[in-house]
Structure 1
Amino acid sequence: MSHKNHHRDPASNQLLNFAKEHEDKKDSITTNGGNPVGYKDASLTVGYHGPILLQDIWLLDEMSHFTKERNPERVVHARGAGAFGYFEVTHDITKYTAAKPFAHIGKKTPIAIRFSTVAGERGYADTVRDVRGFAIKFYTEDGIWDLVGNNTPIFFIKDGALFPSFIHIMKRNPVTNIRPDYDMFFDMISLRPETTHQTLITFSDRGLPRSFRHMHGYGSHTYGFVNEEGKFNWVKFHFVTNQGIQNMSAEEAQKLAGEDPDYHTRDLYNAIAKGDYPSWNMYIQIMTPEQAAKNPYDPFDLTKVWLHADYPLIPVGRIVLNKNPSNYYAEIEQIAMDVANMIPGIEPSPDRMLQLRLFAYRDTHQYRLGPNYRQLPVNSPEKVSNFSRDGYGTVNSQGGAPNYHPNSFCGPENDERAHDLTPTIPLHGDAKRIDSGDDDNYTQARLLWQRVLKDDERERLVTNLADWLKRTTTKIQNRAIKNFAQVDPELGIKLREVLNADEEFHVEL
């Protein structure tokens, strides 16, 4: 390796490193069936100018695979990076949950994490302003547990009925094919005040994290915990970065989008390759059912946080990423996170967005990867015993085990522990459509504006909001300003001042 190569980062040297590891064991080219290929550099033709023969099986083998190399991309979180590592318990929380990963201090569970942007396509730049996905797959003794969250503790909307519409305003205009469409975005945002809290976070400094390593992660939704005695509590998950929070300016992010659109992906790969393993400390918040019944706001509302003063963070453990993928497509593009993958000791909540995701993730993975996507190695639990068989892409057919239940031939049986850890939750109420969009949408956003953000951070937030708002119609601008003024009159005044100062985009008063 030349002296010059020592100055290149690990990502740039990937092929050099591969060559160094394999210089004494070169392989022969084969077809996908393992058959040796004699000559790869030309197709089989009838003479120099003759047509290619259909019997050129080496060419057809590769070409027929090439035309199918790309499966449909994720409808959201299409752009992403990931790595592998472990979760280690540092504090005992068995009084809250019987879930296997938390069994005892010092226990380690293998994990995979996928980071992502939410709205852009697979080819989008890493550094666009957006929420970042923070999804963890735990490979436990009780199967796969997926904790699929973001780098913010809340989201724009609280009811899954509005999720397709919200994602549409983040995607391309269906006529012009241009993204973002500022009218689409701020039209819905200003018509649904529940979006206010998350919008302020997204347009704050945290909408442009320095790297995946320099941001917190959150389970976001409320989940249930059940301990060995069957005692039930509600829980939220937090992952606090040990690298510290760092963000970038809008100008730097835009510059990097042109110069190095894979900036965050490169940073994650290089950090792990250099042995600078990123880590996060895991915390939980606990709310008893009695507290939930008396809480002044809906504890299952995804647009609101649980205030730390009322529900303090409880330390649990840490996650460490120490292994890069050996192949991005196989291990990251095909990784399939699913909030419905839960293990005994962990339960869903009535969070309306979580309820939708319990269906939607599995449905989209079956569309993208086929009905047996969970048999792919990166998604596969250690063992599966059930009555699902066959289908496109079958890898594990479970041998000769009975494919029906009940049976008399040693087929799998009900798991008593899982049954005992399934709580009885009383439900009551009339089945009807209840729009909760007007439930106090400003108190927590006001706390963010007045108490969390510093003066310079507030100024940048106003600038970032105005930069998008100035491109919308006057009607939408005025409605949005009126909405933001409900958070704090100062926010509305500052937005109007910045927009009025722009001669090209003038707001009618």
Structure 2
Amino acid sequence: MKEEKKNLSTASGRPYYENEDSMTVGPQGPVLLQDYHLHEKLAHFNRERIPERVVHAKGSGAFGVFKVTKDISKYTKACLFSKVGNECRVFVRFSTVGGEKGSADTERDPRGFAVKFYTREGNWDLVGNNTPVFFIKDAKKFPDFIHTQKRDPQTNLKSPNMLWDYWSLNPESLHQVLILFSDRGTPDGFRHMNGYGSHAFSFINDKNERIWVKFHFKTMQGNKTLNLEQANELKGKDPDYAQRDLVNAIKKGDFPKWKLHIQLMTNSQAQKFPWNPFDVTKVWPHSDYPLMEVGIMELNEIPANYFADVEQAAFAPSNQIPGIGMSPDKMLQGRILAYPDAHRYRLGTNYEQIPVNRPVCPVHNHQRDGSMSVMGNGGSEPNYFPNSYDDIEADVKFKEPGLPIDSTVADVYDRNENDDDHYTQPGLLFSKVMTDKERANTVTNIVDSMAGISGPKRDKIIQRQLDHFYKADKELANLVANGLNFKFKPS
């Protein structure tokens, strides 16, 4: 059968020929207003860039498959985990967090690690980072924190003053700051780092029993990091280093894999936990809450078009499936609102109709209209519920049990008495978890960054941050002070 000829055409489908010459009055005359194809090409070109993500602007992505390897069906009724051997397609987007779309892949920065599971009960998005904790515990602080990671409003330059001023005034950031300034802050590409859901979530089983859960993706390629010199060298040599590494590995069939593990905590254990168990600046110790293997994720397909899939991918912690739910984590609760709102601004109200975001299961609701409604807009079906015409039902079996809370007092200061212990876990990280080499590199990296603090507030900012280091680990504070040649006196 003869292949159909592919005629060059306008967006409306009209075949045309004049693609490289504008219509003019004579060979040297002015361009005519009626050259509508010239208008179409220039107008589309002017609109090719959608708004950049405020955070996680630069990223890489790949499709793959997730396979369940261990039975956890007694903890969750999620269909994906109903039996060993179940599989579903996934899309994963890796990213840097604070930089712009043109920033280098080896910047000292957390890495986004977002996974979209296309299950038969809807899309489940696990939107995390390569660290198990975060800088802040309350979403109300998020805009202020991110402003410090961006550019100075006066100079339009990155500012160590902004970074360390904010961190020194928010000691809850200390745990994540120590991770960031270890060599884990500069992973060797995306394939050699772990991923974490970071927040506590819920598992709900078929008896409507709830248990708290945290998710951990452990790289099967082995953890590898870059030291300060290597990361800085690659910024200039190959700013797209991590993207190139991921693409090349998959192209040659070296498919990266991660094992998914979970930690579980009962509600009675949560009530006895020494800190707020839903505080994302804290971890659940593995000695008390051991990792349990769940499955293996493999990435084996590079998207055919970067913009269509990686740039338009929209992940949201609000995308859950039956059997997986939320927790009282304040940062998580804020992200439930913020992420879909960002997608509606950046991609349009019907962003979940874009193929990379589209569920593989049928969607039945009464949402209509809005920009870029491309799935038939519900056709002639009614746009209200309940109605007498369609067969859409609200099935009570999908009703989620109530979320337990320990207080009925609406008070922003009603909190765990240990919530202000921002030092124990970072201290243990530095003194017990890190090796001698990792401790030395962490101090070097901190000194390199804090040496950039300048101006009349310099000594005050450094003193305040050193006080936090001192409360976590005295040796850490003294080593950083010596590296900065700063006369430190603990407050």
C-alpha separation between the residues in 1 aligned to 2:27 and 2:243? 45
Q: Deviations over 1:303-350 (max 9, x none)?
A: 001000000001100111010001000101000001001111011100
1:62 to 38, 41, 44: 41
The alpha-carbon deviation at position 40 of structure 1 amounts to 2.0
Q: CA–CA distance in 2 between the matches of 1:28 and 1:178?
A: 49
Among 342, 352, 356, the alignment partner of 2:334 is: 356
Inter-partner Cα distance in structure 2 for 1:32 and 1:474: 61
Q: CA deviation at 1:30?
A: 2.0
8 Å contact kept, 2:171–2:422 = yes
Pairing 1:124-163 to 2, within 5 Å after superposition:
124-163=103-142
Which sits farther off after the overlay, 240-249 or 251-260?
251-260
Partner of 2:424: 443
- Give, as a single letter, the amino acid of the residue that structure 2 aligns with 1:292: A
Aligned runs of 1:27-38 on 2, under 5 Å?
Answer: 27-38=6-17
The match for 1:480 is: 465
| 2:443 counterpart of 1:462 | yes
Bigger drift between 61-70 and 89-98 goes to 61-70
Distance in 2, Cα, partners of 1:408 & 1:425? 36
**Cα distance, 1:161 vs. partner?**
1.3
AA aligned to 1:334 is Q
Q: 2:373 matched to 1:394?
A: yes
Aligned to 1:339: 317
| Distance of 2:156 and 2:27 partners within structure 1 | 44
- The CA distance in 2 between the partners of 1:424 and 1:262, in whole Å, is 43
Q: Report the alpha carbon displacement of residue 242 of structure 1 after superposing the two structures with TM.
A: 0.3
Q: Which residue of 2 aligns with 1:16?
A: none
Aligned residues: 479
- Structure 2 counterpart of 1:407: 387
Code of the residue aligned with 1:170 in structure 2: it is Q
Matches of 1:25 and 1:273 in 2, distance apart?
30
Q: Give the match's secondary structure for 2:378.
A: coil
* Structure 1 partner of 2:474: 489
TM-score normalised to structure 2 length: 0.95
Q: For residue 298 of structure 1, what is the aligned residue in structure 2?
A: 276
Q: Is contact 2:276-2:419 (8 Å) kept?
A: no
Partner of 2:228: 250
Does 2:95 correspond to 1:77?
no
Distance 1:333 1:424 in 2: 35
Report the counterpart of residue 216 of structure 2 in structure 1.
238
Write the letter of the residue equivalent to 2:394. Answer: N
- Given residue 447 of structure 1, which amino acid in structure 2 is its aligned partner? L
Amino acid at match of 1:399: G
Most deviating of 473-482 and 357-366: 473-482
Structure 2 residue aligned with 1:201:
179
> Where does the alignment leave 5 or more consecutive residues of structure 1 unmatched?
1-23, 501-505
Task: Give the 3 Å change call, closer, same or farther, for CA 91–58 of structure 1 in structure 2.
Answer: same
Alignment CA distance shift 1:487-1:424 (3 Å) = closer
SS at structure 1 position matched to 2:208? coil
CA RMSD between the two structures: 1.6
Whether the aligned pair in 2 keeps the contact of 1:339 and 1:357 (CA below 8 Å) is yes
Match of 2:396 in 1: 416
Shift of 1:399: 1.9
* Residue aligning to 1:10: none
TM superposition shift of 1:429: 2.3
Establish whether residue 315 from structure 1 lines up as the match of residue 293 from structure 2: yes
1:381 to 2:359 alignment: yes
**Residue pair 1:194, 1:438 contacting (<8 A) in 2 also:** no
1:468, 1:148 → 2: CA distance? 28
1:250-309 Cα offsets, whole Å, 9 max, x none, are 112112111211111111111111111001000000000111111111110000010000
